[in-house]
Each structure stands twice: as C-alpha cells, then as structure tokens.
Amino acid sequence: MASNGSSTKPAKITVLISGSGTNLQALMDACNTPALPNATIIHVISDRKDAYGLKRAEAAGIPTTYHGILPYKKKYPDDSPNPHYQEARRVYDADLAEIVCRNKPDIIVCAGFMRILSTAFLAPVKATNTPIINLHPSLHGDLVGAGCIKRAWEEFEAGKRKETGIMIHYVIAEVDMGEPIVQEKIAIEGCGSLAELEERIHGREHGLIVEGTRIVIEGRRGEGENEG
C-alpha cells in the first residue's frame, strides 16, 4: 500500500456486491489515491456465487466470501405470507452481520448488493457503530425499491419527468429512505432508449460511490479527533 504521509490508520472498507462489480472496481482503483486516500478494502462479500466482482477482488488479493440464501431457504421453508418475516431471511441476515463484523470494518459499502437488509442485519451492525451506505439509482424520496431506472424511463416516455438521479445514502430499515450523503441529478433527455439511460446512470455511479465513501470516512475521522 502506498503511503500518503499520514499517520492515520487506513480506513477499513467491507463491500457487499451481487454482480459484475464495476462499482467495487471503482472503489478498488480509488483506494490510496486523492479520490479515496488512506483507505483499504478488507473484505468483499457476495450473495451470488458467480458474481464477477468476486473475481475482481480475488485478482487484487482481497479476501472474499460467498454468502448465499439457498441453504437457508432449504433449512427454513417459506411458511409466511409476508417475505419480510421469513425465518430464512432473518437467520441469513444475522449470519451476514456476523461475517461482516468479525473483521471490524470502519464502513460497509453496498455496491450493487441486490438484497434488502433487514433489522436482523442492521441491529447488530448498528451496535458496533459501523456506518452502512448504499448506492441507489434515484434521488432521495423519488423512486424507491427495485427497477428505478426502468420506471424513470417509462415516466419519461409518458411525459411525466425529464430527469432522474443517483444517490449514496445511509442504510436504514425503511428501504432507500436513509439520509442521503451525496446525490446527483441526471437528465434523461438525449437518451434514445432505456439502455442508453442505464449506461448514462452507471457511468456516473462510479464517481459518486467513491465520493460518498470518502465523505463518510472523513466524517468519522473528524468525530474521532473531536472525541480525543
């Protein structure tokens, strides 16, 4: 790791992913550069075994863990009409929290992690005072949940909107409603298709996830200095 001349301990980042890991790659490339100084990714966890992001991390020598839901579904069959209260999900999330917290990260970054984190995960992580942040392809309070880019495109085609956005926000139990750390508006006009809008949005995500991570890390260091 290159030194930046500071005696501050490197901020330890754990990243949760589900897919190709392009946002993970942006974080990896930014560590120990002016964009994200004195930071290191200590663990990458995926809920999908074939996620290419795991290969990116392994190639860089970063420890990885595959934590899939299927064994939990087999052990705890779904007998609830409300998926938010499935025992499989509760135990899965509790185990995920244990896996994440054992390395004592300074920040947890959801970089394209496609699972909703329940209180079974959030409560034990909150007890460690470790911030959890997430990348979401919409502005705060606008579009929540899955399929935001597609919904924004459909509203654009219907003449109901001209722009959408992306944000990095704190993760809380209310999905996509945590306090925004940084967000950016993105114009839809000029895109000829949903695919073009997706490309425009994804192209801006890489810089924003790095910026949001840096803001939180620097804020925590500031708090530590004040406490000292």
pLDDT of res. 83:
54
The fraction of the chain above a pLDDT of 70, given in percent, is 90
Which long-range contacts does 186-195 make (Cβ < 8 Å, 24+ apart)?
A: 187/162, 187/163, 188/152, 188/153, 188/156, 188/161, 188/162, 188/163, 188/164, 189/156, 189/162, 189/163, 191/153, 191/156, 194/149, 194/150, 194/153
> Domain residue spans in the chain?
11-140+165-187+204-227
pLDDT of res. 85:
52
Active-site residues: which are they? 136
pLDDT of res. 127:
97
Q: Is the pLDDT of residue 225 over 50?
A: no
Tell me the pLDDT tens digit for each residue of 38-76: 999 999 999 999 999 999 999 999 999 999 999 998 888
Mean pLDDT of 86-109: 95
Q: In Å, what is the CA distance from 176 to each residue of 14, 140, 145, 173?
A: 20, 7, 7, 9
CATH 3.40.50.170 for the 11-140+165-187+204-227 domain, yes or no = yes
Pairing of strands 132-136, 163-170: antiparallel
Mean pLDDT of 192-219: 95
The model's confidence at residue 160, banded by pLDDT at 50, 70 and 90, is: very high
**Could you give phi then psi for residue 118, rounded to 5 degrees?**
-90, 175
Q: Is the pLDDT of residue 81 over 60?
A: no
Please give the mean pLDDT across all residues of the chain.
90
Mean pLDDT of 19-31: 96
pLDDT of res. 2:
39
Say if pTM beats, i.e. exceeds, 0.75: yes
pLDDT of res. 228:
34
From first CA to last CA, the distance across the chain in angstroms is 27
Mean pLDDT of 211-222: 89
Tell me the pLDDT tens digit for each residue of 101-150: 999 999 999 999 999 999 999 999 999 999 999 999 999 999 988 899 99
Residues 134 and 86: their CA atoms lie apart, in Å, by 23
